[in-house]
Each structure stands twice: as structure tokens, then as C-alpha cells.
Structure 1
Amino acid sequence: MPVPPPPSGCFDGARHFYAVRVYFEDTDLSGVVYHANYLRWFERGRSDMLRLLGIDQRSAQEAGEGAFAVTDLALKYLRPARLDDDVLIESTVADVSRVTCSLVQKALRGGELLAEAQVRVAFVSPQGRARRLPAQFHSAFTALVAPPPEGLHHP
């Protein structure tokens, strides 16, 4: 019996796209997607973007190199998603430093913007201290740096 692979999204240039469908479990009593689920979708989009870039988070963690931790997050909700909606998570790299990577993520239904986030992740040691991104990670992110987006602006 063939087993379909889990979704991992795809790149279109420097933008990564990850598709999700709204299930009943994603909604609150009013039938609107519960706010925390956007964070889950954004996390899945970021994780699968890294996987497609060849960044093996699990190996880095198991080897004692470190892991990514969200250090800053700004999230703006614009329109509700509802049961059975198809939502596309778009992730772009906005900036890269030696230790951090800043991304802009959007939840879209068709061409309609539902939510937008600016996320900064840092690479941290197993003890939780900031450390330099491994060279392969830094190179992968730098190759995807996009021009500043319209909308949310990080101070």
C-alpha cells in the first residue's frame, strides 16, 4: 500500500509555501480558527522550510550543537479563517545575523491576508545561550533574504 509523504511545502524563489486546511479541531465555539493555531501553522511552515533547505534541526540538537528558539514575535490578525478553509502559509527570510534569523510569515486564503507575523529565532546552545548559526544554516538563510515587506515593521 503506498503511503503518502507528509506535506513539506515548496519554494517559489525565496518564498516558502506550506498549505493547511482548517479542521474542526482548529476552531473555537464560534467556528473561527483559535488564535494559537496560527502560531502552530507558522511553526510548521518554518520547520518545513528548514527541512527543504537541508537544515536538520534534530541532528543539530542531538549532536549538542543547539536548537532554534523564538526570541521575538509580533502577530497581527486581520480576518478569520473558518472550518474547511484552505490556508497557505508563506514564509520569507527578512534578515540574518550571526546568531538570529528574522522571518515574515503570512496566512493567506486565496489572495486574502488573514494573519501576519514577524518572527525572530536565535540559535541557542543546549544550555540556552545564544551561539553562532552553523555556517550551513547561515548560508542557507542568507541566500533567501528578501527585501523588507510591507505591513508589520519590527522596531
Structure 2
Amino acid sequence: MPFKSKYMTRAEWADCDPLGQIFYPNYFRWFDIGTHTLLTAAGIPYEQVIEKYGLAGLPLVDAQASFRGRCRWTDHLEVESFISEFGRKSFTVTHNIWNDSLVAVEGKEIRIWGLFNPEDDTKLKAGEIPQEFKTIFA
């Protein structure tokens, strides 16, 4: 069973379209917050990951969402996040947004282990993810 984190959020009017339903880009914002929450819950906040491993970042290379149910203004939502897959140079963070007992949104982010490129400082390169980091989330 992978290490998971959860956080609660309330759907505010500013998160919604004119019909009072969540405007879809907000789910991706909540996914990003979920990733940061996951790292912090595991004892290695994002900024410490960057500093400890000398990274440029953990940039997204893919993000997707499947909408299974409605989320509306004033709903109390739970965002559950976990790393579902590790590759050599990338990892997949899965996010489930729960509205009551229903998974209303399923999302995934693929992030790379982003290193500075010594040959071109305007670009990043994907590096190998250390086993030490992977073990934290096993």
C-alpha cells in the first residue's frame, strides 16, 4: 500500500463557473497542492527535495483528469494523493477528489526528476530518481 496524504478544501464561489460547478482548471490546482501536501506529509517538503537533491524542480510533463461526478459551490472535498508509479526518471502522482463517499475526479500528474542542464542553462534534463526518495513512498 503506497504512502498517501489527504487534505480538505471547500469549493468557493471563485472556484466555480456561472452554474456553480467547479471550473475544471481548479482541479489541476488542487492536484498540485496535493503533490506538495504529499511531500510534506512524507517529511520532505518540496523545497527540501529541491535543496537536498540539487534539483531545478519536479516539473510536470503530463496531467490528466477524469470527471466522474459533480462538485459544486460549498461542497467539502477531500483530495487524496499518492505516488502510483516510479520510472527511472519520472513518477506518477495519482489524485482522487472525494465528494462525500464518491470519487468525483480522478487525476494523474507525471513529473520528472528535473536537473539543471550544464550544457544549456535555459533547459532542464531528467535525471535518475534516487532509491532513497522512492523508498519514502513505498
Among residues 92, 112, 120, which one is paired with 1:122 in the alignment?
112
Match of 2:4 in 1: 15
Residues 55, 137 of structure 1: 8 Å contact kept: no
Aligned residues of 1:75 and 1:117 also touching (Cα < 8 A): yes
For structure 2, the 5+ residue unaligned runs are 117-122
Deviations 1:29-56 (A, max 9, x none): 1111110000111111111110111223
Q: CA RMSD in A?
A: 2.0
- The CA deviation at 1:118 is 2.1
* Whole-angstrom distance in 2 between the partners of 1:97 and 1:46: 17
> Structure 1 stretch 129-138 or stretch 20-29: which is displaced more?
129-138
The answer to whether the 8 Å contact 2:5/2:81 transfers is yes
Of residues 101, 107, 114 in structure 2, which corresponds to 1:111? 101
TM-score normalised by L of structure 2: 0.83
Contact 2:38 2:82 in 1 (8 A): no
Q: Percent identity?
A: 21
TM-score, normalised to structure 1, is: 0.75
Greater relative contact order (Cα 8 A, min sep 6): structure 1 or 2? 2
Distance 1:54 1:66, change over 3 A: farther
Cα-to-partner distance string for 1:110-132 (whole Å, 9 max, x where unaligned): 11121111221111113411012
Q: Is the 8 A contact 1:87 1:109 kept in 2?
A: yes
Q: Which residue of 2 aligns with 1:131?
A: 127
Q: How does 1:2-151 map to 2 (within 5 A)?
A: 14-61=3-50, 64-126=54-116, 127-141=123-137, 143=138
